[in-house]
Structures are given as C-alpha cells and as structure tokens.
Structure 1
C-alpha cells in the first residue's frame, strides 16, 4: 500500500452497498447480512446463520475516476475436517458492467466447521486487502462483488480519487433459492447464475439464496415480504428433499403459506415459482441426502441420496413429486393471482444437460452450468413477454 497521503478513505455505508438486508457493526468493520435481525433471532440452525452471513450477491457500487481501489476485509474461511481444502473467496471487479479483474484476500478468520451441523469454532485472523489497479482514468461505474461463499467484514475503502454512490434506477429483482442460487461451485460471485441473469436482464439483484436452507421457513417468507422489490422469484424444492424435512401432506400447505406471506407485502408484484433443476440422485429417491463417504476417503466431496423410493407412496418427497405439486399449486392460485407464474426447473437444466454437463458433486452445478442456467433463466423470465418483464 502506498503512503497515506496518496489515498482517499471513504466510509463504507449502506449507500455504497447493494444486496444486503442489514449491516452488522463488528469490532473491525461492517459485516453484510442477508437476513434481518428478527429473522435471525427466530433461527436456531447454525447452517442458515452461516449461509445468510455469506454475502452472495452483495457488492460495493460506486461512481469514481479512481484508477486504484483497495478494500480491506476480514474474511472468514471455512475448513471441513476430512474434506478437500476450499479455495479462498473471490472478489470480482466490474467496470461499467464488464468483469475486468478478480482477486482474493489472504488471512482472515478460520472456522473449523462440522459438515453435519454447520457449527464450528472460529480462530481470529488478520485483515487483508483486495487491490485493483489500472482502472481507466475516467468517470465510471465500479462494482466490487464480495465472495459469495465466504463471510466478509468490510474494514476500509481507499481510492486515489473521490467516490460517490450510484443512483439506483433499475428494477429490483428479489430472488430466493437453495445453494444453487447461493452460488455453490460457481467460479466467482458475479458468475453465480442469478448474477448472470440479472446482468443480462439489466435488473438489480437481491439474492436470498441460502445454501441448504430454502426450506419454506416462515421467517424467510417474512423477510421476502418486507424487502422492497419490483420482481420476485422463488426456486423451491431441492432442500426440502435432501433435508428430508417434510412429507407431501406438510409441503403443500407450507408452499401456500409461504406464498400467502409474500403476497401480504407484494400483492401484485410479478412472482415466478421455479421448481428444482434436474438432479439424478434425488429424481426418484427421497432424502435425506448425505455425504458419499467412499468419495470423501478419496479426497472428493460428493453427495448421495439415502432414502427409500418405496416410501414415496406414503408421502416422502422426490424432485418429480415436488415439480408436479408446485405446478399444481401455482395453477390453482393463478386463477385468482394473474401475476403468479411457474417455471419447470428442468427447462433451465434437464436430463440432456446432465448428460453433457454432469453435476460434479452430484448436487451442485459447475461454472459452465451456472452460465447456462443464468442465460436460460434470463431468456425465459426477462425475455419478451416473460413473467418478470413488467413492473406493476
């Protein structure tokens, strides 16, 4: 870092951040969070609390003539004993909408996590710096997308020219989903499929995709209800199956209740319900999902389905059952709700796609598949005549 007199330090405030629901003040800075305090207080699942603290879709957005930008952060890196090491989180730099650079921040806290519970001990570590140089010396829009899979405390923002917030004049798209929407196995935060779809459509993303936790929780529904948005989508089903959370009898009213709550705050907002993409292990086999222990012994993290297909007749859920039921529920409700729509997730990634681009760990798409899903979603949802094309 250059000497202090060459830099302008700008306080990091909510005006410079997009995609976060709240900012938590820590001893060293600000931590972006994707669930409000009331929702967090009602959640006892450590995995959900960790997931919502990972700033998927959260980015700093500013106008500046700066040619160098430095962001000091304290990342929290997860270590799972017995699993392959996780790479450092990635910070993407976009200039006027184009991805121009990316980097990682070394150091930070280390959380040794229990894969089964999500809980773990945190060992404090030092702050590090994400540095971007060689930016064009003109007025421009600069975005720094924070790691989608690594909790991040924001400590300081330095530039070699003044910065100011960008005026937001685009439609706000609020999305909720599972780890696939959160960005698992994507290459970087601006290339998770919701970010790619938002960029193609020219909308402003708020991503409430929570790894392992798209579970129709009432507190999540209330968070969606209370978040200002012009367009909403919900990608539901895979976590309900692999968590083995409920039977069909509970699933149907839970979906209705989730939609009812959202409609309390967004009665006429275009709302698209998306069923699960193709996932061979859970198409006909119920949960719970589990870690493939043989693969883990070989140093690979892969998932498997451990349920009994014979129990589907008694109400256990598979992805095929989920798709049929979501389509039925939306069709029923759409008779009185013309702004409610349905998309079969297999149109985003189906059986033929799985043969061409198989899920590397049997559950999550790779970078190429994130791009395919994002492109297809943008075309379907935001294309001409699509369900998310018009604001009410």
Structure 2
C-alpha cells in the first residue's frame, strides 16, 4: 500500500524536506487544502479526523535479519489526546522489546539475537509520529506483507491507545493470530461514517472488512434516529462498490455500563444506536454481510471490571476483545 516496499498498513506516505515520513491512514491528497497549514488550525471542522489519520496505528514493517542491533530514528509529538504510545519490536512473532517514545526527535536502539530472525517493528498507535530511518549493523532484507488483507474501521476502541503497545491492540492481536495483513482504521473520536473513510475502504483491496459503528455517533450526537440508518446504508454501499463479494462484518457498540439508557442530545440511547446501525445494515439485504451485537463481545460485568473509564477498555480488555472476535472474524473457504 502507498508505494513503500518497507512499511504496510497505511494509505499515503508523505515525506517532508528533512526526510521525515508521515504515514496517513486516509489519503490527504483528496482534500482541497494545504495540510500542514490546516492541521495547525484545531478550530477547523475535521481537524481531529486528520490528526487521527496521521497516527500510524497498525503501521509496521518486517525484515529477515542476522544483525546484532537495529536503530529506529523517530520523531514524536503529543496529539490531541496527549498520548504517545510505545514502539514494539517483535522477534519471531513474540514481543522482544517495548520502547517508550518521548516528545521530540530520538533514536531507539535495540539489541537483536544476531542470528537469522524475523523482526517486526510496530509504530505507535498514539501520538503524532514521523519516521526517518531504520538501520541495522548487519544484513537485513525487507519482507513484504503476507496473508490476506483485513481492513477494520472504528473508533478509539479500534485504535486502542490504551493497549499495552501497538502489537497488542485488539486488531493487531487478531491479525497476528490469523496471519492477516492488517489495515487498521481506528480513528479515535472520529468514526462518524465520513465519506473519505468509505472511499478508502472501497479502494483498498481486502479479503475481509469489519466496521465497528456507533459509539462515536452516540457521543458526538452526529445523526438522529431519522438519519442514522440511511447513513449506515450509504457507507456500507460505498464500501460494497469496491468489494462486490468481500465479507463485511458490522459490529454495534460494546456495552458501556454507565452510559446505557442515557439519551444523548438527539434523544438516542446506545440501544437506539445499535438498532439504527442494524437497520441500516440489514436494509441492504446483503448475503455477504454479517452483524455482531457488541454486547456479545463483552458482558456488562466484564466491561465494569476491564474498562479504564466509562467507555474505553484497559489493556486486558483489548486482549479479551481479541479473544472474542478472533473466532468470529473469519475468511470464507
């Protein structure tokens, strides 16, 4: 994806004059503005969407290497959520080192076994991140992504800034378990059925697509009971235009015990949101579309125990979500 043979999991790669690469998970070239100027204006509508799209959640690269060490040159800044996640280094599919990332430019050096191993670097799932160089003190061959591509779209619960690290978000755990090539479109606070998200999914080849819809629409009071079913129908229809027979899984909001039963400003409870999402998805009468009720992924009791706040799972909650969804997200034979 994006024309870079090294990294995967993004839509567009932008390199500034100093050589710093930003991995965009939505394509900013579709927008009629100068992004660097525009991103400096948090008062502009949509600022948060593009801030989230520039966070490299799910972006990673793999090498076969016998080097004794690797160095990653990375730049980080606090984003609108004031969080910078770590970088994960995996050897042979297992966590080798998890390295914190501080604001500013830095070089992260990690010792390796020095024998032939497969190394994965997963970039932070939180923060404004740039990458300039990856270097080894020995032989290293970049490996292309393998396995069927899976796209998953959702909110902060799909971006998972509160996971232990980028290789332990629930999408990363599911993808690693199945051997899939993940494209993670978790956009914290910004899962509002934006047309550019639908077009991105439509135009990206995939063998499986999952859409976790509703929680940001509840919190942002984005649509009413009159408009939400049609917006879901339109979003899924756009996705389907590019994927005539690809399985699509629509997941309604997980339980939020302290918010259940409370109408938002447009009068919708979370149950109402679930019903509207289901109605919009079922209107298509699509035989390749599956619905998952988010309340079957975690129970209310599990949510009360594993949530870090009224809405977001903690690290062990994301692990449990992966355990529950992994057997339900499957490819056709």
**TM-score, normalised by the number of residues in structure 1:** 0.77
Offset of residue 20 of structure 1: 1.2
Contact 2:228 2:280 survives alignment (8 Å): no
Contact 2:64 2:143 survives alignment (8 Å): yes
Contact 1:67 1:160 survives alignment (8 Å): yes
How many residues were matched structurally?
Answer: 320
Query: Are residue 27 (structure 1) and residue 4 (structure 2) matched?
Result: no
RMSD: 1.9
The aligned counterpart of 1:94 is 90
The aligned counterpart of 2:7 is 17
- What per-residue deviation string (whole Å, max 9, x for no partner) do you get for residues 42-74 of structure 1? 894111111111110011222221120100111
Distance in 2, Cα, partners of 1:279 & 1:364: 9
- 5+ residue gaps, structure 2: 34-43
- What per-residue deviation string (whole Å, max 9, x for no partner) do you get for residues 141-182 of structure 1? 211111100121111111011322213330100010001101
The 1:151/1:40 distance shift into structure 2, 3 A limit, reads farther
Equivalent residue runs for 1:34-73 within 5 Å = 34-41=25-32, 44-73=45-74
The aligned counterpart of 2:249 is 272
Contact 1:184 1:364 survives alignment (8 Å): no
Q: Select 2:290's aligned residue among 332, 335, 341.
A: 341
Offset of residue 364 of structure 1: 0.9
Query: Are residue 140 (structure 1) and residue 117 (structure 2) matched?
Result: yes
The aligned counterpart of 2:282 is 331
Contact 1:246 1:316 survives alignment (8 Å): no
> SS of 1:20's equivalent?
coil
Equivalent residue runs for 1:163-182 within 5 Å = 163-182=140-159
- What per-residue deviation string (whole Å, max 9, x for no partner) do you get for residues 86-115 of structure 1? 56420000112111111123341xxxxxxx
Distance in 1, Cα, partners of 2:196 & 2:53: 13
Contact 1:67 1:136 survives alignment (8 Å): yes
Specify the structure having the higher radius of gyration (Cα): 1
**TM-score, normalised by the number of residues in structure 2:** 0.90
Distance in 2, Cα, partners of 1:321 & 1:345: 13
- What per-residue deviation string (whole Å, max 9, x for no partner) do you get for residues 282-332 of structure 1? 322133xxxxxxxxxxxxxxxxxxx4xxxxxxx632211122233333334
